[in-house]
Amino acid sequence: MQNRQPNSSRRSFFSGAATVGAAAAAVVALPKVVPSDAAVAEPARVAPEKGGGYHLSAHVKQYYKTTQL
């Protein structure tokens, strides 16, 4: 009885092809990101003298939307 093992280069080729196919499918399935005009239209704020200065910006609002269940 012969113990033949598959050719490793052939196996790696098919493994690589499957990985590339899965990556291509993931790129197609992901939603497209459209830049928001609201973030560009926001005026620049002056930094407070003693630090701090948290404010609710469009970026922070977008983050809060993504964390909601």
Q: Could you tell me the residue ranges of all domains in the chain?
A: 8-67
One DSSP character per residue, 23-69 reads HHHHHHHSPPP---HHHHHSPPPPPPTTS------HHHHHHHHHH--
Residue 10's pLDDT is: 83
Report pTM: 0.36
Residue 19's pLDDT is: 93
Low-confidence ranges of the chain (pLDDT < 50): none
Residue 43's pLDDT is: 67
